[in-house]
């Protein structure tokens, strides 16, 4: 297929060979059209039955939709064609015939439910609007990587098979590792922290995290893509600055480089790069504002985690991305540092989109004795984490960082109703294949 021309590049005056899928066949009697689709778009192929070789017409119009074909012919200008040009075929070759019955209709004329779409993701991804989501996802990852490099971070890759969990035992997937119990990692948390004490100082990772979430929700996956940042010699405020810059860079990348995809998704008007600084609300202000909305039957009291309805009420009230800072120490993990002047208050923060949580982060506890104490308070055995804790005895700088859910970022940017729309092959309670 060396000499294959993309449909988007087929220019009038040239003879080309295009390759792709049969998107549509329209037989108007004496004249018929085949619409061929490839990754760059579509092109019309015109068959004038009386003027063309019978065999050629038969091959071109006898093929089932979604079959893979090549068409060789002259490209001509044609005002009435969808793209302003059409191909007058000299030859048509059927490369891979598709069954006449398809599990879903890639032309999008017949709606399919999400489950059918996910079962047949290859066909689903032949739809321009689905392809657009994954083009945008790829751009988000590119822009985020670039921003991390601009922030002076080194990209790292840490193990996904681990001996212990970090975020509490309930969400772990156990596996068998040469006869011993091991787990799929929930977060690169401890590994990335260890790297701020190395010569690298400032790192990022984009990789899978595994969470045995008990319930299917529109915003939880059992395998998600975590975008992690960790840096030596910054506090939670510096970590929030970095977070804001990365989230903004992702939006800017999409605004600049995915104009067509946004158009395909009908989001040209709606899509916005978040402007201005993200407000930083303390946890205390957050619960007061939620209570003032009257959205909850029971008002929140200090120490409560924010229920989903509370997050929604506050999100509607704030109306943009915002941070919640200064969480009660008791509801944040052991590795988050408490404020020096108030041990009940932590340096933990969340970045919220009006609809849901995007990021959790904070300054980390880098003092060995406090760290060991924190493990015990959380009911974890410090011995199991010796590989981690012992490095805090050999010169661990103050540091801070965060983890951002990649799919949640894409989901909020594109206003997708379900996080599964942002993953090619999602993993949830019911879905382990494809
Ligand atoms: P939530 O309260 O929304 O379940 P969390 O506080 O348990 O999230 P963290 O441990 O703080 O999640 O993880 C950091 C980020 O990773 C979250 O803010 C979110 O963007 C993302 N994330 C966590 N768990 C999942 C999941 N199961 N599916 C998709 N993204 C997730
Ligand atoms: Mg969180």
pLDDT band for position 133 (cuts 50, 70, 90): very high
Q: How far is the CA of 30 from the centre of ligand 1 (A)?
A: 59
pLDDT band for position 377 (cuts 50, 70, 90): confident
pLDDT of residue 421: 98
pTM of the model: 0.96
Residue nearest ligand 1's atom 24 by CA: 220
Q: Is 32 exposed, middle or buried (0-12, 13-18, 19+ CB in 10 A)?
A: middle
pLDDT of residue 140: 98
Q: How far is the CA of 333 from the centre of ligand 1 (A)?
A: 13
Mean pLDDT, to the nearest integer, of 410-418? 97
Q: Is 161 exposed, middle or buried (0-12, 13-18, 19+ CB in 10 A)?
A: exposed
> Which residue, among 204, 121, 197, has the nearest Cα to 402 in the 3D structure?
204
Mean pLDDT, to the nearest integer, of 326-331? 95
Q: Is 209 exposed, middle or buried (0-12, 13-18, 19+ CB in 10 A)?
A: buried
In percent, the amount of the chain with pLDDT more than 90 equals 92
pLDDT averaged over every residue in the chain: 95
Ligand 1 nearest-atom number relative to CA 409: 20
Helix intervals (H) in 278-307: 283-293
pLDDT band for position 182 (cuts 50, 70, 90): very high
pLDDT of residue 130: 97
Q: Give the active site residues.
A: 211, 213, 219-220, 357, 360, 408
Tokens 């401890």 belong to residue: 190
Which of the ligands is closest to the CA of residue 168?
A: 1
For a ligand 1 pocket test, name from 220, 225, 409 the mutation site with the most ligand atoms within 8 angstroms of its C-beta. 220
Mean pLDDT, to the nearest integer, of 5-16? 97
Above 90 in pLDDT, residue 169? no
For a ligand 1 pocket test, name from 171, 403, 404 the mutation site with the most ligand atoms within 8 angstroms of its C-beta. 403
Query: Which residues, 6+ apart, have CB-to-CB distance to 432 below 8 Å?
Result: none
Which of the ligands is closest to the CA of residue 225?
A: 1
Class at the top of the CATH hierarchy for domain 122-279+320-422? alpha beta
Instruction: Assess whether the C-beta atom of 362 lies below 6 angstroms from ligand 1.
Output: no
SS3 call for 149: helix
The half-sphere exposure of 4 on its side-chain side, counting CA atoms within 13 A, is 14
**What is the rounded distance in angstroms from the CA atom of residue 216 to the CA atom of residue 214?**
7
What would the pLDDT profile of 191-244 be if each residue is shown by its tens digit?
Answer: 999 999 999 999 999 999 999 988 899 999 999 999 999 999 999 999 999 999
- For residue 19, give both structure tokens: 């390759």
Which of the ligands is closest to the CA of residue 403?
A: 1
Q: How far is the CA of 358 from the centre of ligand 2 (A)?
A: 8
Mean pLDDT, to the nearest integer, of 309-329? 97
Asked if 211 contacts 222 with a C-beta cutoff of 8 angstroms, the reply is yes
Number of neighbours of residue 276 by Cβ within 10 angstroms? 7
Residue nearest ligand 1's atom 23 by CA: 405
Above 80 in pLDDT, residue 168? no
Q: What is the dotted CATH code of the domain comprising 7-96?
A: 2.40.50.140
Mean pLDDT check: name the lowest of 73-77, 116-120, 223-227, 379-383. Answer: 379-383
Instruction: Assess whether the C-beta atom of 359 lies below 6 angstroms from ligand 1.
Output: yes
pLDDT of residue 1: 60
Reported residue count of the chain is 434
**What is the rounded distance in angstroms from the CA atom of residue 166 to the CA atom of residue 25?**
56
CA 284 to chain centre: 31
pLDDT of residue 317: 97
Residue nearest ligand 1's atom 12 by CA: 360
CA 216 to chain centre: 18
Mean pLDDT, to the nearest integer, of 400-406? 98
SS3 call for 203: strand
Above 60 in pLDDT, residue 152? yes
pLDDT of residue 2: 59
Domain ranges of the chain: 7-96, 122-279+320-422
Q: How far is the CA of 4 from the centre of ligand 1 (A)?
A: 44
What would the pLDDT profile of 337-372 be if each residue is shown by its tens digit?
Answer: 999 999 999 999 999 999 999 999 999 999 999 999
> Which residue, among 289, 341, 336, has the nearest Cα to 317 in the 3D structure?
289
pLDDT of residue 150: 98
Mean pLDDT, to the nearest integer, of 154-159? 98
Ligand 1 nearest-atom number relative to CA 221: 28
Instruction: Assess whether the C-beta atom of 213 lies below 6 angstroms from ligand 1.
Output: yes
Across the strands, what pairs with 405?
226
């Amino acid at each position: 297929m060396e000499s294959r021309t993309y449909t988007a590049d087929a220019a009038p005056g040239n003879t080309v060979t295009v390759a792709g899928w049969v998107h549509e066949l329209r037989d108007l009697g004496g004249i018929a059209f085949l619409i061929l689709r490839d990754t760059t778009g579509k092109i019309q192929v015109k068959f004038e039955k009386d003027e063309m070789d019978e065999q050629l017409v038969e091959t071109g119009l006898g093929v089932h939709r979604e079959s893979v074909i090549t068409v060789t012919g002259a490209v001509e200008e044609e005002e009435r064609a969808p793209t302003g040009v059409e191909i007058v075929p000299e030859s048509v070759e059927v490369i891979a015939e598709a069954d006449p019955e398809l599990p879903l209709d890639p032309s999008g004329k017949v709606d399919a439910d999400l489950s059918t779409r996910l079962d047949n993701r290859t066909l689903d991804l032949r739809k321009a609007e689905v392809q657009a989501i994954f083009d945008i996802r790829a751009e988000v990852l590119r822009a985020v990587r670039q921003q991390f490099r601009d922030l002076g971070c080194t990209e790292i890759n840490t193990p996904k098979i681990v001996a212990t969990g970090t975020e509490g035992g309930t969400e772990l997937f156990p596996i068998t590792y040469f006869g011993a119990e091991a787990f799929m990692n929930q977060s690169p948390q401890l590994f990335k922290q260890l790297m701020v004490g190395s010569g690298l100082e400032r790192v990022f990772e984009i990789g899978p995290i595994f969470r045995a979430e008990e319930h299917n929700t529109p915003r939880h996956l059992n395998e998600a893509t975590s975008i992690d940042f960790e840096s030596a010699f910054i506090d939670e405020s510096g970590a929030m600055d970095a977070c804001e810059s990365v989230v903004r860079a992702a939006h800017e990348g999409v605004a600049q480089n995915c104009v067509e995809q946004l158009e395909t998704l009908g989001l040209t008007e709606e899509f916005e790069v978040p402007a201005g600084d993200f407000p930083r609300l303390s946890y205390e202000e957050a619960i007061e504002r939620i209570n003032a909305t009257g959205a909850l039957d029971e008002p929140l009291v200090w120490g409560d985690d924010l229920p989903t309805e509370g997050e929604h009420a506050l999100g509607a009230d704030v109306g943009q991305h915002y941070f919640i800072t200064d969480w009660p120490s008791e509801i944040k993990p052991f590795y988050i540092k408490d404020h020096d002047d108030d041990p009940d208050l932590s340096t933990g923060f969340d970045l919220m989109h009006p609809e849901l949580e995007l990021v959790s982060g904070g300054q980390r506890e880098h003092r060995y004795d406090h760290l060991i104490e924190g493990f015990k308070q959380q009911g974890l055995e410090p011995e199991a984490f010796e590989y981690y804790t012992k490095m805090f005895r050999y010169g661990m700088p103050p540091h801070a960082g965060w983890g951002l859910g990649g799919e949640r970022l894409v989901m909020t940017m594109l206003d997708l109703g379900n996080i599964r729309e942002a993953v090619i092959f999602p993993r949830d309670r019911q879905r382990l294949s494809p």
